[in-house]
Amino acid sequence: MLVTEAAPAKINLALHVRARQPDGYHLIETLFAFARDGDVVTVAEADVPSFTLTGPFAAGLDGEGDNLVTRAATAFAEAFGIDQPHAIILDKRLPIASGIGGGSADAAATLRALARLHGIAPDDPRLLAAATPLGADLPACLLGQTSLGTGRGDVLVPIEGLPQTPLLLVNPRVPVPTGAVFRGWDGIDRGPIPEGPLLTRASAGRNDLAPPAIAIAPVIAEVEAMLAAAPGVLLARMSGSGATCFALFMNEADRDAAADRAGTRGWWTLATFMA
């Protein structure tokens, strides 16, 4: 039996860094949302464990014997006491180290797929317990719903989203290391995400990681500026720790026109919708 699970791109509509903890982690507030498209994970029972990479960004993970997908599979086996080997295929369609939760989304999809394969309820608390140690974005990606994230991003409150809103992701094909971006944060708490409807909250918010990310990869500022100036744009911003930027649009035609303009610069694009 084959089980296929989507690993949609994660979007931070706003990301406020509130404090740096003594252990080096950061307390944040963020508005998590998800695209309709992303990577794809397929799992099946097997005689021996295997992990196969396909897709346009497979080369970026090639040679990694240990990654978030294989760690998620190990965590699942330990959490549920399952010794059955699995064959796992990751169709890697999203850029690596790009601020849209690719690795976390892949790991969360692996947990969901293995749960379906073995008849485990998607809200079994052991899944969340297995996901949490793997990364701060894992709980949000496992939930897969628009939500307000606090703490390290792992304390989640689901909120009303913006389903079917045209969405464009643009990455200038420059990987940005998350750790370096967080270390570059200036340490100033500029306040919380305001209340209100989602788009109002997001528009009044910011991404505190954009300045340090742009210091590492200045081209991010060019992507942001191009998207912000596009006709029909509702909101444009860098996602996560970069370098991917996103824009929400009033209609598909304006989104697709912006995608064409970004593509002429050689940037990676994904024209999709909000989930």
Q: Are 70 and 31 in contact (CB under 8 A)?
A: no
81-105 burial: b if 16+ Cβ within 10 Å, else e: eeeeebbbbbbbbbbebbbbbbbbb
Let me know if 92 is a catalytic residue. Answer: no
Let me know if 10 is a catalytic residue. Answer: yes
Give me the number of domains the chain comprises. 2
Tokens of 220: 């991010």
Residue that is last in its domain, among 158, 175, 196:
158
User: Is the pLDDT assigned to residue 117 strictly greater than 60?
Assistant: yes
What's the CATH number where 246 sits?
A: 3.30.70.890
Helix H or strand E segment including 269: strand 268-273
Q: pLDDT tens digits, residue range 174-201?
A: 989 999 999 999 999 999 999 999 999 9
pLDDT of 66? 67
Tokens of 232: 């029909």
For tokens 């929400």, the residue is: 248
Please check whether residues 98 and 211 belong to one and the same domain: no
Q: How far apart are CA 271 and CA 37, in angstroms?
A: 9
Q: How confident is the model at residue 23 (pLDDT cuts 50, 70, 90)?
A: confident
Residues 6+ apart with CB under 8 A from 14: 29, 30, 31, 193, 201, 202, 205, 206, 207, 237
Catalytic residue among 10, 37, 208, 254: 10
Please check whether residues 76 and 174 belong to one and the same domain: no
Catalytic residue among 37, 91, 106, 137: 137
Please check whether residues 108 and 172 belong to one and the same domain: no
Residue that is last in its domain, among 130, 158, 186:
158
Please check whether residues 79 and 133 belong to one and the same domain: yes
Q: Taking residues 32-37, what's their average pLDDT?
A: 98
Q: Are 116 and 57 in contact (CB under 8 A)?
A: no
Please check whether residues 22 and 150 belong to one and the same domain: yes
pTM for this entry: 0.95
Please check whether residues 66 and 31 belong to one and the same domain: yes
List phi, psi (to 5°) of 15. Answer: -145, 105
Please check whether residues 190 and 133 belong to one and the same domain: no
User: Is the pLDDT assigned to residue 64 strictly greater than 70?
Assistant: no
Q: Please give the residue range of the domain that contains residue 180.
A: 166-273
Q: How far apart are CA 68 and CA 107, in angstroms?
A: 5
Q: Taking residues 76-103, what's their average pLDDT?
A: 95
Residues in the chain: 275
Residues 6+ apart with CB under 8 A from 62: 53
